[in-house]
């Protein structure tokens, strides 16, 4: 077990490069189950969720070679269509194999994901959409069993915009017989990345980037190569690190339009932002952050995956801010830990009310999920003295070499082995 030991109070400076988006990679990798051959991906982040997906794909018969952020997946010899509990319990995104396996092999058995650290995360929309495409779905001993001779096109209108359900449905519809219309589809950049990859495999998808997708099913798809977009959440997290520590930093990031909402909130807080091609400079030197409210929303709104980090930022802002999570209404496990560091936060239903304080003080805190851990690391960068962040296996799921990137910017952060849990 590892922990981070952070010595707060150091200014940051310099430039770091943003890694590939794990949430894009997790959507594109299972898409190889739709084809038969060698697929190469560039810009895959080396994080634990990617290793978990590789293990699952290997279990299904895919062979994998992962080196220097390049991943080769050979889908020629798929040997089974069963994603067991041991994989799914580690990572909910394992459910992404359901749609492609069903579409290609007419059968898929995937362990039903349970609740997560911040409450229920249902997959009813995935299952309802697959049923509309002609799947017979049963639940048996905690497993979802989906069967279909051949899926057929259908009209699917999601009640809620869901990244995962949209991804799964598209991956099923691309091999269905006939046309499918998917309405209220997610328009997150990771879904666009997935659609573009599927199109490169021979899929016919219209309306990419809009909430209405038309998929004209084809009989087969060929292997193809894909490039993972930059991680907008890592970009936002590191920019907040700069703003919180009142520093001037730069990030190298290719998809600046994906973080417009976060940049606009950072500007509202007083940070100076300048953009030059693929470099974003944030200058918060000597700037006391203003309190800025945020409410999470589907893309292009403020991402739920940045909510915890924004609360850490607002903990030291001048005034009171309100942070509302409309996507995951219970995602606030970082709040009591931030309070241990001296933050003044009340939680009312799905809203955190943050009364900015003058200082935080280092303490031992515990990570509870990926983005919560990021918020604790950020707070540790400004808390006086030493902060120890325990259970950082959560952060290792989704941030590539976070301590190296922060050290490169001048933070005092060290990974230490511990028996503490």
The span from the CA of 411 to the CA of 236, in Å, is 17
Tokens of 388: 């120890």
Indicate the residue among 8 and 113 with the shorter CB distance to ligand EPU: 113
Q: What does the longest C-alpha to C-alpha distance in the chain come to? A: 65
The span from the CA of 241 to the CA of 14, in Å, is 12
CA 164, 168, 126 angle in degrees (round to 5)? 70
Shortest Å distance, C-beta 386 to ligand EPU: 27
**Helical axes 307-314 vs 232-244, angle rounded to 10°:** 10
Shortest Å distance, C-beta 126 to ligand EPU: 5
Q: Find all residues with CB under 8 Å of 92, minimum gap 6, and list them.
A: 113, 116, 121, 164
Shortest Å distance, C-beta 91 to ligand EPU: 8
Catalytic, out of 42, 58, 89, 116: 116
Asked whether the CA dihedral 122, 345, 284, 248 is positive or negative, the reply is negative
Shortest Å distance, C-beta 26 to ligand EPU: 5
Shortest Å distance, C-beta 41 to ligand EPU: 16
CA 360, 248, 239 angle in degrees (round to 5)? 70
The span from the CA of 31 to the CA of 197, in Å, is 8
Shortest Å distance, C-beta 303 to ligand EPU: 6
Shortest Å distance, C-beta 186 to ligand EPU: 6
Q: Find all residues with CB under 8 Å of 141, minimum gap 6, and list them.
A: none
Q: Which helix (H) or strand (E) holds 376?
A: helix 370-382
Indicate the residue among 87 and 126 with the shorter CB distance to ligand EPU: 126
Indicate the residue among 60 and 163 with the shorter CB distance to ligand EPU: 163
Q: Which residue is nearest to ligand EPU (CB)?
A: 164
Q: Pick from 197, 210, 269, 202: which is nearest to 240 by CA?
A: 269
Q: Which of 105-139 are b and which e, b meaning 16 or more Cβ less than 10 Å from the residue's Cβ?
A: eeebbbbbbeeeebeeeebebbbebbebbbbebee
CA end-to-end distance (rounded Å), the chain: 7
The span from the CA of 29 to the CA of 74, in Å, is 11
Indicate the residue among 48 and 162 with the shorter CB distance to ligand EPU: 162
Q: Pick from 86, 92, 85, 117: which is nearest to 30 by CA?
A: 92
8 Å CB contact between 299 and 188: yes
Residue 195 annotated to the active site: no
Indicate the residue among 32 and 327 with the shorter CB distance to ligand EPU: 327
Indicate the residue among 55 and 121 with the shorter CB distance to ligand EPU: 121
Interacting residue ranges for ligand EPU, rule: CB under 6 A: 23, 26, 93, 121-126, 160, 162-165, 186, 190, 303-305, 327-328, 370-371, 398
8 Å CB contact between 41 and 226: yes
Indicate the residue among 278 and 329 with the shorter CB distance to ligand EPU: 329
Indicate the residue among 236 and 342 with the shorter CB distance to ligand EPU: 236
Shortest Å distance, C-beta 342 to ligand EPU: 25
- For residue 31, cis peptide bond before it (omega within 30 degrees of 0): no
Residues annotated as catalytic (active site), given as ranges: 116
């Amino acid at each position: 077990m590892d922990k981070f030991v952070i010595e707060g109070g150091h200014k940051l400076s310099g430039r770091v490069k943003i890694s590939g988006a794990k949430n894009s990679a997790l959507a594109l990798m299972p898409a190889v189950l739709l084809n038969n051959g060698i697929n190469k991906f560039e810009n895959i982040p080396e994080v634990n969720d990617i290793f978990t997906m590789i293990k699952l794909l290997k279990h299904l018969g895919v062979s994998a070679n992962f080196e220097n952020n390049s991943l080769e997946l050979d889908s020629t010899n798929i040997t089974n269509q069963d994603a067991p509990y041991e994989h799914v319990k580690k990572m909910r995104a394992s459910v992404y194999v359901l749609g492609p396996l069903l579409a290609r092999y007419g059968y898929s058995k995937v362990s039903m994901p349970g609740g997560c650290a911040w409450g229920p995360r249902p997959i009813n929309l995935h299952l309802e959409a697959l049923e509309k495409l002609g799947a017979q779905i049963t639940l048996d001993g905690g497993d979802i069993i989906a069967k279909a001779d051949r899926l057929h096109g259908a009209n699917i209108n999601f009640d809620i915009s869901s990244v995962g359900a949209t991804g799964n449905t598209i991956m099923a519809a691309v091999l269905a017989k006939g046309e499918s219309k998917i309405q209220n589809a997610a328009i997150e950049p990771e879904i666009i990345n997935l659609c573009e990859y599927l199109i490169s495999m021979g899929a016919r998808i219209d309306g990419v980037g809009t909430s209405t997708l038309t998929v004209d099913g084809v009989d087969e798809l060929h292997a193809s190569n894909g490039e993972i977009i930059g991680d907008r959440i890592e970009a936002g997290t590191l920019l907040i690190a700069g703003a919180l520590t009142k520093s001037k930093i730069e990030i190298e990031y290719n998809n600046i339009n994906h973080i417009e909402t976060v940049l606009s909130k950072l500007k509202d807080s007083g940070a100076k932002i300048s953009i030059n091609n693929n470099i974003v400079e944030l200058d918060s030197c000597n700037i006391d952050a203003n309190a800025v409210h945020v409410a999470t929303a589907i893309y292009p709104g403020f991402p739920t995956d940045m909510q915890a980090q924004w609360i850490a930022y607002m903990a030291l802002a001048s005034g009171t801010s309100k942070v509302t999570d409309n996507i995951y209404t219970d995602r606030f496990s970082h709040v009591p830990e931030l309070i241990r560091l001296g933050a003044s936060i009340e939680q009312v239903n799905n809203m955190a009310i943050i009364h900015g304080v003058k200082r935080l003080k280092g303490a031992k805190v515990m990570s509870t999920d990926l983005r919560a851990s990021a918020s604790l690391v950020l707070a540790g960068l400004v808390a006086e003295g030493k902060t120890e962040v325990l259970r950082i296996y959560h952060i290792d799921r989704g941030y590539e070499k976070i301590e190296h990137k922060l050290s490169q910017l001048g933070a005092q952060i060290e990974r230490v082995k511990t028996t503490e849990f």
